[in-house]
């Protein structure tokens, strides 16, 4: 399982778009934001830099990314509970960084 599998799994239920709406983020950008955050953290980037890096890449205000992060963490936790063992380690590492 790779990052795109995780993004697609979290996105499949519509919960990601709902979380984006709650954070004030355009739901159509939710998947791109999540992917950007996961890639940034997975590539060794710090969480402190994630909001600015992802915001610049996607073209949104970094404050929106910051509001989105707590919503994403909850979704990833829920997804990890039902994910295969190989994905649980990856998601656990990402959550630790978040």
Mean pLDDT, residues 85-96: 71
Residue 33, Cβ neighbours under 10 Å: how many? 26
Q: What is the pLDDT of residue 77?
A: 79
CB-based contact 37:72 (threshold 8 Å): yes
Q: What is the pLDDT of residue 48?
A: 75
Judged by DSSP in three states, 52 sits in helix
Q: In which band, very low, low, confident or very high, does the pLDDT at 61 lie, cut at 50, 70 and 90?
A: very high
Q: What is the pLDDT of residue 11?
A: 81
- Of 74, 72, 32, 71, nearest to 55 (Cα)? 32
The structure's pTM equals 0.79
For the segment 3-30, what is each residue's pLDDT rounded down to a tens digit? 677 778 778 778 889 988 998 989 889 9
Residue 10, Cβ neighbours under 10 Å: how many? 24
Q: What is the pLDDT of residue 1?
A: 59
d(CA 32, CA 49): 17
Whether the per-residue pLDDT at 56 is higher than 90: the answer is yes
């Amino acid at each position: 399982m790779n990052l795109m599998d995780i993004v697609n799994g979290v996105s499949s239920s519509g919960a990601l778009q709902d979380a984006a709406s709650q954070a004030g983020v355009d739901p159509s950008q939710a998947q791109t934001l999540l992917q950007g955050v996961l890639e940034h953290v997975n590539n060794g980037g710090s969480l402190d830099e994630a909001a600015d890096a992802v915001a610049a890449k996607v073209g949104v205000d970094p404050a929106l990314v910051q509001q989105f992060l707590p919503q994403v963490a909850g979704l990833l936790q829920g997804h990890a509970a039902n994910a295969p063992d190989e994905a649980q380690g990856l998601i656990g590492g990402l959550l630790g960084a978040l």
